[in-house]
Amino acid sequence: MKFKPPPKRKKVDPELSSSTSHGESIVNLPSGNRDEGTRKEAVVHETRMSEALLKIQQARNYAVAQAQQDCCAGNFRIFDSPFGNYLVPVIPSRSELGG
């Protein structure tokens, strides 16, 4: 028995999407053979993505504020991963310090 591969998904053209001032993205789909349900699903998906990005930004800002509160006045970098955001201190080498 052969199994059928899952159907391929179409990528949304970046020219067709736009962002609103409230952080919600609305995708303008071509009016060809798309129905109203598909348009609503696209708007909901884009809104969920923007909410996820907002949560990441808030977590990043919280990590920076927490590091500054702990008297970490030095340089640090933020690494985003699917498992969370990491705030890592950057320790300069002697050559970077000019010594």
pLDDT in tens, 63-82: 778 777 776 666 767 777 77
CA angle 86, 92, 98 (to 5 degrees): 160
Q: What is the pLDDT of residues 8-39, one digit of tens each?
A: 776 665 554 444 444 444 555 555 555 556 66
State the total domains in the chain. Answer: 1
Strands (E) in the chain, as ranges, are 17-19, 25-27, 76-81, 84-89
In a domain, 22, yes or no: yes
In a domain, 64, yes or no: yes
In a domain, 23, yes or no: yes
In a domain, 9, yes or no: no
* Residues contacting residue 78 through CB under 8 Å, at least 6 positions apart: 60, 63, 64, 85, 86, 87, 88
In a domain, 6, yes or no: no
In a domain, 3, yes or no: no
The pTM assigned to this predicted structure is: 0.35
Structure tokens given for 20: 């609103």
Structure tokens given for 98: 């000019």
80: containing domain? 14-97
In a domain, 4, yes or no: no
In a domain, 57, yes or no: yes
